[in-house]
Structure 1
Amino acid sequence: MSEEDDSKDSNGDIRKRVKELPQDEKDVNVKPSTIKLKKHVGLVSGTSFIVGTIIGSGIFISPKGVLMETGSVALSLIVWAGAGLLALMGSLCYAELGTLIRKSGGEYQYIKQAFGNIPAFLYAWTSIIVIRTSSMAIICLTFGEYVATFFPYCGNPDLPMKLVASLAIVTLAIINCTDARLATRVQVFFTVVKLAALLVISIGGIVRMAQGHVTELKRGFEGTTKSPSTIALAFYDALWSYDGWNNLNYLTEEIKNPKKNLPRANIAGVLLVTVIYLLTNMSYLTAMTSAELLASDAVAVTWGDRVLGSAAVLVPLSVLFSTFGSANGTLFSGGRVVYVAARDGMLPEMLSYVNCKRYTPVPSILFTAIISIIMVFPGNLSELIDFFSFTAWIFYGVTVSSLIVSRFTMKDAERVFKVPLPIPILFVLLSIYLVIAPIVQSPRIEFLYAFLFIIGGLIFYIPLVHFKLNIPFWGKISTFSQLLFEAVPSPFIPDE
């Protein structure tokens, strides 16, 4: 998909613009060929990207699904803890992969290194069209749903909710295109706000337990399901709430000292979220019965009405902050997958361009935002979660398999962080279980559609990537995009 011949003239114009740029101390000799994304993510901001992306809409909608599938309070809490443990195992594996292969792009880079271009392309294809964009859609739909709680609607509020979700995506796209540092500050701010809100819920639950409101918690395993496949579906709901544990690996090239900060942020972020999630779920059950929790469309709001009284308005506001921050992290990382895949020639080259003034991958961010908005309008939350979880866990398993492969193919490579081998092996086995169990229990047509969609990426890979089919006028589109976004190609430049 190279457009080099058609974009030479525009490159000349862009070079002139680059020469006119104000140069800071670190960029005295900026050249178009060396423009790349800047390192602006430290340990605190890196941890906030993980925590802030994980804590989004999930903890406010998934407790219903987990409790419904498990059938009992005790098993639901075990599932929440187990999901946190699985996320921690995954984050440990990704920490080794990210310090071994220090390139942005997450799963795409690791699958490509271990299994080649075709599996890597199929991941990028699925991630760009389904995984990251459906995640954005779900989070922003929840944002719109909680906005709706502030206004009385006559009839079905779906359309206003979806319009609000789309507006949120557009706002985030503007922020991320404007300045990566601004997007990072936004992430840190909203992470602090959502942690404060969940801390209030957690403390409130502890106080109520001390007061004796433990009737529901004492029910234990009463009503527990005996179906392994149903438990797998419960894990899907819980793991959706933990999704984002791998978020920092998408921006490895933008992390300061990734050898140290990537593992530390991965581990700290997941552990913090696991503790908060357990306390939050227990707190919900001190304020409402299991039946009331299952009947509530906004669990956190119901909790606030019963515990905080007149201050309950703070809960939906906190949810808005939480979902907005999570969507910011998802868009930030999702745009990097597009950017890296395009840089490798797997997608149109113009999607790898970086704005030469702001050092942001504007085309890839806008592309991700547009697909996310498209996903919003036909989207149903429960269907999107199932579809997302099924496809995501296929590639999580494949990615951690690449770690096992690398132990044999990259024996002499420097490993500053090394996870015990049983951990990735167990993670892969659990991933297989999470993919197969729901199919065995309930072989729905949606799972076949998901598989066919993944394989369907070959329709584009074979002619456009493998045979490099030249599309008429594509070079002119690329030239136009360079001028419109003031962007230039950004090749990978290893750290010195």
Structure 2
Amino acid sequence: MDQGETSPLLLKKEPAKLKGTVGVLSASAVVFGTCIGAGIFISPKGVYEKTGSAGAGLIVWAVSGLLATLCTLAYAELGTMMPQSGGEFVYIHRVYGDFPAFAFSFCNTLLIKPAALSVVAALFGEYLCNMVWGPGTSFILCRVAAASLIVTLGVVNIVGVNVIAKVCEVVSILKLAVIGFLITCGVVVVVKGQGEITNFKQPNLFEGSSTNPADYGLAFYYCLFAFQSWNSLNYMTEELKTPETTLPLGGFIGLVGVTLSYFLCNVAYLMLFNVEQIANTDTIAMDSGYIAFGRPGEIIMSLGLLVSCLGCVGGAICCVSRNIESTAQAGVFPSFISGINKTFHTPVKAIVVVVVTMCMYLLVDATLLIPFLGTVEWLFYCMTFTIILYLRWKEPKWNRPFKVPVFISALLCVITGTFVVLPLFSEESRTTTLLGLCWLPLAGAVYTVRYLVTKFCYRQQNKSETSSLSSSDSGYSEIQGL
């Protein structure tokens, strides 16, 4: 069918569309709620293990926040130029075509997002079970709790985007309380004279800092894992009120809040622990509360982690499902998972796909895959930033309701490209990096099979139509001869 033609079916029945109901406050809450999750309790271990010092670790956190904010603003330019939900898929498909867009959606849908979110859900299950039944709860029970969280939040997402946006708003407020409590823990311990205040004094501040650039590449991978949902709003652009304002402003406010929160949390950690202790603990949330207030503090911090995980998973399901919906609408993924439910005005089928995929990743320990996920993730980010530069050159007259300085886009291309290459110089991360890159030829193989199957079906359909037409013509000739 030519692009100018319209299917008769579409003339009869107007498809349901996403509604623009999310304002600046709700948008910033979505960013804040989806970013601040388990990452602030998972990432510090890897960051300080790789950097080796308090000062270097804090610099990595600060630079990561600045980088995530700049990335958000750069994405706002693309989102206001092409205001369709779906994020990178929309932009890559528009400029680079079918296969790069398919490769992104294939990796994003089946690897990057569900695996990362399963880490958050798994942590929720472990902390919940430890609170209720105590340490040593079985793996299966912890995973059942995690799966229950995913399914519940999937149902909430189906009910409507306004519901999940309100959940993110409420959870965001509770997260601020958790961050405030964590900072209070640090202050209380220092006042008692039991803190690690020497972490902030010379020469301890930078003592033991790594001199290996590859270590800092991995440190940024761990750190940016905590900022992973900085691009949330680009997946739901059609649901934003006045996207040209809400997208950049909501993203900026949300990321500034996330960056300040993370930095203060790390200051609190360094008040409570030395760098070696942070690098060696797997339960930093519980340990922080216990050091300051004993068992009650441990419970409060555990509850805070559960709330953070809930908001993170709930908002992310909302955003990722929009990417799947856009992909299916474009015909890259199977069409049966596309479509907006007329009752709830949400992509119900796409939400179900996200929920099922996340539950599948609960069967493995995805915490070991952060560098693996980061390799593929930042490769596509780099590709997306090149689109900004390409369109500035190729389409200078394209309406841009929001623009970032071109040197920022160029800088982001260099930085994200470096993130992809740098881990190759580390023996520890080289294997996982190469495994991550292996997803690209896998996507190519799937795309080729899909293309051949589609081409075969198309030929069979043409043969059937030709045969039917020939039979009809033969019958007509026989009638004429009577």
1:196 is aligned to 2:181: no
How big is the shift at 1:465?
4.8
How big is the shift at 1:363?
0.7
How big is the shift at 1:206?
5.0
Letter in structure 1 aligned against 2:36 = I
How big is the shift at 1:311?
3.4
Cα deviation, 1:79-121, whole Å, max 9, x if unaligned, reads 1011111111111111111111111111111111221121111
State the distance in 1 between where 2:140 and 2:256 align. Answer: 38
RMSD: 2.4
1:464 is aligned to 2:450: yes
1:451 is aligned to 2:434: no
State the distance in 2 between where 1:227 and 1:258 align. Answer: 42
Instruction: Say which of 306, 314, 320 aligns to 1:320.
Output: 306
Residue 338 of structure 1: aligned partner: 324
1:275/1:208 Cα in 2 relative to 1: closer, same or farther (>3 Å)? farther
How big is the shift at 1:440?
1.7
After superposition, where does 1:257-276 map in structure 2 within 5 Å?
A: 257-276=242-261
Structure 1, unpaired ranges of 5+: 1-6, 16-30, 473-496
Residue 437 of structure 1: aligned partner: 422
How big is the shift at 1:310?
5.1
State the distance in 1 between where 2:456 and 2:170 align. Answer: 45
How many residues align? The count is: 448
Letter in structure 1 aligned against 2:82 = I
Residue 217 of structure 1: aligned partner: 200
Maintained 8 Å contact 1:91/1:266: yes
Cα deviation, 1:316-337, whole Å, max 9, x if unaligned, reads 0011010011001111111111
Instruction: Say which of 394, 397, 403 aligns to 1:412.
Output: 397
State the distance in 2 between where 1:335 and 1:413 align. Answer: 28
Maintained 8 Å contact 1:205/1:280: no
Letter in structure 1 aligned against 2:168 = Q
How big is the shift at 1:161?
1.8
Bigger Rg, which one: 2
After superposition, where does 1:230-309 map in structure 2 within 5 Å?
A: 230-309=215-294
1:128 is aligned to 2:109: yes
Task: Percent identity, please.
Answer: 31
State the distance in 1 between where 2:279 and 2:135 align. Answer: 24
Cα deviation, 1:343-391, whole Å, max 9, x if unaligned, reads 011111111122121111111110111111111112231x221222111
Letter in structure 1 aligned against 2:65 = G
State the distance in 2 between where 1:365 and 1:117 align. Answer: 23
Letter in structure 1 aligned against 2:186 = G
1:153/1:209 Cα in 2 relative to 1: closer, same or farther (>3 Å)? closer
State the distance in 2 between where 1:467 and 1:408 align. Answer: 37
1:469/1:353 Cα in 2 relative to 1: closer, same or farther (>3 Å)? farther
Name whichever of 49-58 and 435-444 sits farther off: 435-444
State the distance in 2 between where 1:52 and 1:305 align. Answer: 25
1:171 is aligned to 2:162: no
Instruction: Say which of 87, 93, 97 aligns to 2:68.
Output: 87
How big is the shift at 1:431?
0.9
The TM-score, its normalising length taken from structure 2, stands at 0.88
The TM-score, its normalising length taken from structure 1, stands at 0.85
Letter in structure 2 aligned against 1:422 = F
1:354 is aligned to 2:340: yes
1:114 is aligned to 2:122: no
Residue 23 of structure 1: aligned partner: none
1:470/1:369 Cα in 2 relative to 1: closer, same or farther (>3 Å)? farther
State the distance in 2 between where 1:282 and 1:95 align. Answer: 31
Instruction: Say which of 95, 119, 129 aligns to 1:148.
Output: 129
Maintained 8 Å contact 1:345/1:465: no
1:426/1:199 Cα in 2 relative to 1: closer, same or farther (>3 Å)? same
State the distance in 1 between where 2:191 and 2:393 align. Answer: 53
How big is the shift at 1:147?
1.3
1:51 is aligned to 2:32: yes
Maintained 8 Å contact 1:138/1:385: no
How big is the shift at 1:210?
6.9
How big is the shift at 1:195?
1.7
Name whichever of 145-154 and 281-290 sits farther off: 145-154
Letter in structure 2 aligned against 1:285 = L
Letter in structure 1 aligned against 2:251 = N
